[in-house]
Amino acid sequence: MRALIIGGDHVDAAKRALYASGYTEVVHWTGRKNNDLKRPLPAGVTHMVIMLEFVSHALARKMKTTARSQRISVAFVGRKQGGQAEVATRLQSTPDTAALRYAA
Protein backbone atom coordinates (compact mmCIF):
# COMPACT_ATOMS: atom_id res chain seq x y z
CA MET A 1 0.00 0.00 0.00
CA ARG A 2 1.15 3.50 -0.75
CA ALA A 3 0.26 6.76 0.99
CA LEU A 4 0.77 10.36 -0.12
CA ILE A 5 1.47 13.27 2.25
CA ILE A 6 0.90 16.71 0.77
CA GLY A 7 2.29 19.78 2.52
CA GLY A 8 4.36 20.24 5.63
CA ASP A 9 8.09 20.40 6.19
CA HIS A 10 8.63 17.99 9.05
CA VAL A 11 6.41 15.01 8.34
CA ASP A 12 8.43 12.33 10.10
CA ALA A 13 5.75 11.65 12.73
CA ALA A 14 3.09 11.22 10.05
CA LYS A 15 5.40 8.96 8.02
CA ARG A 16 6.10 6.78 11.05
CA ALA A 17 2.38 6.51 11.76
CA LEU A 18 1.66 5.47 8.19
CA TYR A 19 4.46 2.88 8.17
CA ALA A 20 3.26 1.53 11.53
CA SER A 21 -0.25 1.09 10.16
CA GLY A 22 0.95 -1.07 7.30
CA TYR A 23 1.85 1.25 4.45
CA THR A 24 4.92 0.05 2.58
CA GLU A 25 5.70 3.34 0.84
CA VAL A 26 5.01 6.95 1.80
CA VAL A 27 5.45 9.68 -0.81
CA HIS A 28 5.77 13.33 0.29
CA TRP A 29 5.01 16.41 -1.80
CA THR A 30 5.90 19.77 -0.27
CA GLY A 31 2.91 21.44 -1.90
CA ARG A 32 4.90 24.59 -2.50
CA LYS A 33 5.99 24.00 -6.08
CA ASN A 34 3.92 25.40 -8.94
CA ASN A 35 4.14 22.06 -10.71
CA ASP A 36 2.41 20.26 -7.83
CA LEU A 37 -0.92 21.27 -9.38
CA LYS A 38 0.07 19.51 -12.61
CA ARG A 39 1.67 16.41 -11.09
CA PRO A 40 -0.11 13.14 -11.69
CA LEU A 41 -1.12 11.14 -8.65
CA PRO A 42 1.40 8.33 -8.03
CA ALA A 43 0.08 4.89 -8.94
CA GLY A 44 -1.18 2.73 -6.12
CA VAL A 45 -1.98 5.50 -3.61
CA THR A 46 -4.67 4.28 -1.21
CA HIS A 47 -4.55 7.07 1.38
CA MET A 48 -3.80 10.79 1.25
CA VAL A 49 -2.83 13.10 4.13
CA ILE A 50 -3.20 16.81 3.38
CA MET A 51 -1.43 19.14 5.80
CA LEU A 52 -3.68 22.20 5.77
CA GLU A 53 -2.09 25.65 5.96
CA PHE A 54 0.94 24.29 4.11
CA VAL A 55 -0.73 23.94 0.71
CA SER A 56 -2.64 26.29 -1.55
CA HIS A 57 -6.41 26.16 -1.73
CA ALA A 58 -6.20 25.14 -5.38
CA LEU A 59 -3.97 22.15 -4.63
CA ALA A 60 -6.10 21.01 -1.68
CA ARG A 61 -9.25 21.27 -3.81
CA LYS A 62 -7.64 19.38 -6.71
CA MET A 63 -6.42 16.57 -4.45
CA LYS A 64 -9.81 16.31 -2.75
CA THR A 65 -11.54 16.03 -6.14
CA THR A 66 -9.00 13.48 -7.37
CA ALA A 67 -9.37 11.43 -4.20
CA ARG A 68 -13.14 11.46 -4.48
CA SER A 69 -13.09 10.30 -8.10
CA GLN A 70 -10.60 7.49 -7.36
CA ARG A 71 -12.11 6.45 -3.99
CA ILE A 72 -8.95 7.28 -2.03
CA SER A 73 -9.33 7.99 1.68
CA VAL A 74 -8.17 11.43 2.83
CA ALA A 75 -7.14 12.86 6.20
CA PHE A 76 -7.01 16.65 6.53
CA VAL A 77 -4.58 17.64 9.27
CA GLY A 78 -4.38 21.14 10.72
CA ARG A 79 -1.29 23.01 11.74
CA LYS A 80 -2.14 22.85 15.42
CA GLN A 81 0.40 21.36 17.76
CA GLY A 82 0.18 17.59 17.62
CA GLY A 83 -1.54 17.53 14.24
CA GLN A 84 0.74 14.78 12.97
CA ALA A 85 0.03 12.73 16.08
CA GLU A 86 -3.62 13.03 15.07
CA VAL A 87 -2.76 11.10 11.90
CA ALA A 88 -1.31 8.32 14.03
CA THR A 89 -4.37 8.26 16.29
CA ARG A 90 -6.78 8.07 13.37
CA LEU A 91 -4.84 5.28 11.70
CA GLN A 92 -4.37 3.25 14.86
CA SER A 93 -8.00 3.56 15.93
CA THR A 94 -9.20 2.18 12.60
CA PRO A 95 -7.91 -1.29 11.79
CA ASP A 96 -8.81 -0.96 8.12
CA THR A 97 -8.08 1.97 5.81
CA ALA A 98 -11.42 1.38 4.11
CA ALA A 99 -13.04 2.48 7.36
CA LEU A 100 -11.54 5.95 6.98
CA ARG A 101 -13.90 8.44 5.43
CA TYR A 102 -13.57 9.26 1.79
CA ALA A 103 -13.38 12.92 0.79
CA ALA A 104 -16.88 14.31 0.70
**pTM of the full structure:** 0.77
Alpha-carbon gap, residue 93 to 81, rounded angstroms: 20
Contacts of 48 (CB under 8 A, 6+ apart): 3, 4, 5, 6, 63, 67, 72, 73, 74, 75
- Domains annotated on the chain, with CATH: 2-99 (3.40.50)
Per-residue pLDDT of the chain (104 residues; tens, 9 = 90+): 899 999 888 888 888 888 988 899 999 998 888 888 899 999 999 999 998 878 888 999 999 999 999 999 888 887 665 555 566 555 554 444 443 444 43
